[in-house]
Amino acid sequence: MDKSDSVHNPIVRGFKLTKDEGGVKVNKTYYKQAIGSLMYLTTTLPDMTFAVSLASRYMENPIALHLQLAKRVLRYLKGTIAFGTFYKKGRIEELVAYTDNDYAGDVEDRKNTSSYVFLLSSGAVSWSSRKQPVVSLSTTEAEFICCNIMCMSSGMVKQSVDKTGPGS
């Protein structure tokens, strides 16, 4: 990976993974180690959370296509190693949330992946990307479920911000 070129995003738009039992098998231990390391990094790098979450679904029987995604995330990390989360002093400390989902994004069970991020002073303070437990029947329902997941987390995030904010 040292000699590989960096990429500008951790996953290509429209990229889909499947179990594909007929695919070329890869070393499970190597794949699990790579995904475990990437999962550790998602605690400070929200921009690669979706791709790592997607790749982690296939740790039981990884194939070359799954490893290709993990390596792409590593190549993305190589190009963004100097990036970080910055909190700008003097800005209005407003808690802002963004949410999105990929309607029927899993090609095998048609479940969505919901993602959200909370920003404070332009810096991420909480984020998540996880597969929804139910199949949505419409994009409206998928967005509603995604917003609901984000709202459930907002109480905890707001409490944390209130306890650690400038008035504390």
Structure tokens at 76: 């993305």
The predicted pLDDT at position 63 comes to 95
Global pTM reads 0.83
Residue 131, H or E segment: strand 123-131
Q: Quick one: which of 13, 161, 19 has its CA closest to 100?
A: 13
Please state the domain count of the chain. Answer: 2
Given 16, 51, 84, which residue is the final one in a domain?
A: 84
Region of poorest pLDDT, from 17-21, 49-53, 86-90, 92-96: 86-90
36 in Cβ contact with 73 (< 8 Å): no
pLDDT tens readout for residues 81-99: 888 777 777 766 788 999 9
The verdict on 79 and 99 lying in the same domain is no
- 153 plus 123 within the same structural domain: yes
Q: Is 53's pLDDT higher than 90?
A: yes
Are 77 and 3 within one domain?
yes
Q: What pLDDT does residue 165 have?
A: 67
Range of the domain at 105: 95-164
- Of 46, 62, 84, which residue constitutes the final position of a domain? 84
Residue 23 lies in a domain: yes
Q: What single-letter amino acid sits at 82?
A: A
- Cβ atoms of 55 and 67 within 8 Å: the answer is no
Residue 168 pLDDT exceeds 70: no
**Interacting residues of 115 by C-beta distance below 8 A, sequence separation 6+:** 49, 50, 99, 100, 101, 127, 128, 129, 130, 146
Asked, for residue 89, whether it belongs to a domain, the answer is no
Which pLDDT value is given to residue 92?
67
d(CA 106, CA 112): 6
Place 117 in a pLDDT band, splitting at 50, 70 and 90. very high
Q: What is the identity of the amino acid at 97?
A: A
Question: Same domain for 80 and 117?
Answer: no
Distances (CA, A) of 83 to 15, 21, 86, 90: 24, 37, 9, 21
pLDDT at site 167: 53
136 and 105 in a common domain = yes
Owner of token pair 């989902």: 101
Among residues 54, 84, 114, which one ends one of the domains?
84
Q: pLDDT at residue 132 above 70?
A: yes
